[in-house]
Structure 1
Amino acid sequence: MTRRTVSVAALMLVLASCAPDPAANASEPNATAPGTPAAATATRGLDPTLIAAAVAKAEALPRLRSLLILRDGTEEAAHRFHDGPALDRPVNIKSASKTVISALVGMAIDRDMLDGIDQPVAPLLKADLPANPDPRLSRITIGHLLSMQSGLQRTSGQYYGAWVTSPNWVRYALSRPFVEEPGGVMLYSTGNSHLLSAILTRTTGRGTDRLAREWLGAPLGIQIPSWARDPQGIAFGGNDMLMSPRGLARFGELYRNGGRVDGRQILSKTWIADSWRPRGVSPWSGNGYGFGWFASEAAGHRVHFAWGYGGQMLYIVPSLNLTVVMTSDSAPHPRAESHIAELHALLADYIVPAARKGNA
């Protein structure tokens, strides 16, 4: 497959995921269609007045497309905004894909397909190492890739274009110069997650998209369509994964419930605890970062969240048994835009207080 073919296919896949849904304004069970008065929201375990205010605030955010609020596993609020896609339709979750890749790595470790977070990655990616590799490559572990502490120059931000137009994404990521020591400062880089996708593919003999469907999609009862691949056919690790808002909520519930679904343990509780423990701090947001999960607080409660470009958010508030999904228009926008801060505020100022008051 040529690079041009891959690029065109990837572009078509992303465009398809963002296309308007002809049924977007139709009513569906447990969902409020655009234009429904916010005061009509009925909830159990959430203060209805605060939730009504949250929905009104959400509807005023022009980029927001969906809002799902689950309390104790029950969907208490389900809303679409501004002609957003149906809540069961897969959409591009952008870098929230990194959180899903982390889950697949944990499952591979649980299945003894990988040795653990301290396993060096160089032997697993030997075919794509540079001709004269920096000795520090041998010190990079699976855990370093998960926590964005490989020390390699980033492939995100200003470096992203050169990376995704290179003929071999794995080789390119491994050939970046070291700007920090392995295990040191957090350097957010999608290349790290893509290396994990390559490791999963080469270790299991199955594509990462197939693993996602078999290990997550099937037990969770959700759709995970195939998504973009690199020139060597490796599913894009850390970006452009497709999952519906309800599917993303179901994935979040897996973590909130300690890795169990329908009475079956599919992901170890130890992995979840390790993933939620911050290893570094984002220099951009100041949030802690573990294995694919950011960490912060909202109204005094610990929050673990997945974050995709443009506002594809999955929030877990364990102390309140809350799972919240927000999806947004993922078209390019100015970095200085306040949309992400507004989503965080929607959680901290309305949804978390609604849960606290609902407990009273």
Structure 2
Amino acid sequence: MLALAAGLALAAAGPAAAQSASAPTPKEASPGLDPTLLGSVLQRAAALPRLHALIIAHDGVTVVERAFHGPGLDQPVNIKSASKTVMSALVGIAIEHRVFTDVDQPIAPIFAGFLPPTPDPLLGRITIDHLLSMRAGLDRTSGPNYSRWTQSADWVRYILARPFVDQPGGGMLYSTGDTHLLSAALTRVTGRSTLALMRDWLGGPLGIAIPAWPRDPQGIYVGGNDMRLSPRALLRLGELYRHDGMVGGRRVLPQGWVQASWTPRTRSPHTGHAYGYGWFITAARGHPVYYAWGFGGQMLYVVPDLGLTVVMTSNPAAPSNDGYVQDLHGLLADGIVAAAEAAGKPAI
């Protein structure tokens, strides 16, 4: 079925698409990835009309870079909710810089003056840990509530006035508002914008461009949505995590932050996958997989035990929960991971 779909897509798209779906070029050959299976991965990828770009790195070497549709690999694109993963990295660095004390720090004192006139006592129990893992207990600002929240006059006050539907530290309530509070907290405590902090703390060390993204009515950069990074910049972020927060011998993320981020703290009621600090956690063919996920199919995968970092960017205007994200998960598991496994097997 996949082969048929690939053939139909190539026939419709013409020679350019056919070249994109061909077997790996010599530049893309890798002793760590089976070339036949890798060629099949590229065919499958080219047959996905929403997929804009695919980058595969093995042991730090980029073995596939393809722009199938949409912007080029160095063009910043809207990574949607994969922004939550970036915010998690910023919070880790903020703790290292003593901006925050630790993940157990309550947030209510940071937002003194922004709480409701008669605040729910549960607000005093929300910590940075709860925001990172989306377990604040406040009614969601994502999904059907997103537009009402983003149309409000003061996003932070709106979030803090949401009713509690669970205890802080309870189940996962996927809510961009939680991550926006982290952006607002960084801005309030440091007196600097999240954009400026991101450029200093991540952009410089990783050597990536970080353009501005939307802000709320008070000028706070949106936490957890609409950041813009190129596919190659996303790859560098993934490699930073694969190397336990180090880049070029320099520590960028604090010691232990990657492990903390990749420790399951709750579970998504929608996918069943575990969730840490801005990262979903699952497995592919028995290998642990950590991934960032943005609306439409903006994906960053890290498979540490196989040395894999994979970026997939897609049309940001189309939803990915209609089965498309399963296509991307399948491309990773049955294609890329399988190619890494096959290359590692001794010849008979």
Distance of aligned partners of 1:59 and 1:213 in 2 relative to their CA distance in 1, 3 Å threshold: same
Q: Structure 1 residue 34: deviation in Å?
A: 4.2
Number of aligned residues? 326
Give TM-score scaled by structure 2 length. 0.92
Residues 9-49 of structure 1, C-alpha deviations (whole Å, 9 max, x = no match): xxxxxxxxxxxxxxxxxxxxxxxx74415214332111111
1:292 to 278, 290, 293: 278
Unmatched 5+ stretches in structure 1: 1-32
Q: Identify the match of residue 212 of structure 1 among 192, 198, 206.
A: 198
Shift of 1:333: 3.8
Alignment match of 1:339 (pick from 309, 324, 335): 324
Q: Give 3-state SS (helix, strand or coil) of 1:172's partner.
A: helix
Q: Deviations over 1:62-100 (max 9, x none)?
A: 110000000111100001113x21101100000000000
Return the match for 1:73 from 57, 60, 85.
Answer: 60
Q: Which residue of 1 aligns with 2:165?
A: 179
Listed one character per residue, the Cα deviations across residues 110-167 of structure 1 (whole Å, up to 9, x for unaligned) are 1111101000000011121111000000000000000000000000001001000000
Deviations 1:224-260 (A, max 9, x none): 1010000000000000000000000000100000111
Q: Does 1:46 align with 2:30?
A: no
TM-score, normalised by the number of residues in structure 1: 0.89
CA RMSD of aligned residues (A): 1.1
Q: CA deviation at 1:358?
A: 1.9
Q: CA deviation at 1:277?
A: 0.6
Aligned equivalents of 1:334, 1:111: Cα separation in 2: 36
Which residue pairs with 2:185 in the alignment? 199
Query: Contact conserved, 1:46 with 1:355, CA < 8 A, in 2?
Result: yes
Counterpart contact for 1:34–1:79, Cα < 8 Å: no
Q: CA–CA distance in 2 between the matches of 1:122 and 1:138?
A: 5
1:287-345 CA-to-partner distances (Å, cap 9, x unmatched) read: 1000000000011100000000010000000101100000000114484x211000000
Measured in 2, the distance between the counterparts of 1:34 and 1:272 equals 38
Q: Residue 297 of structure 2 contacts residue 319 of structure 2 at CA under 8 Å; is this kept in 1? A: no
Give secondary structure in 2 for the equivalent of 1:54. helix
Matched ranges for 1:122-201 at <5 A? 122-201=108-187
Closer/same/farther in 2, CA of residues 260 and 333 from structure 1, 3 Å limit: closer
Summarize the alignment of residues 3-152 of structure 1 with structure 2, pairs less than 5 Å apart. 34-36=17-19, 37-41=21-25, 42-44=28-30, 45-82=32-69, 84-152=70-138
Moved more, 197-206 or 99-108: 197-206
Quick one: which amino acid aligns to residue 22 of structure 2? A
The one-letter amino acid paired with 1:278 is P
Question: Which of 187, 198, 222 matches 1:236?
Answer: 222
Q: Structure 2: how far apart are the matches of 1:292 and 1:147?
A: 7
Q: Does 1:355 find its partner at 2:309?
A: no
Q: Distance in 2 between matches of 1:352 and 1:95?
A: 24
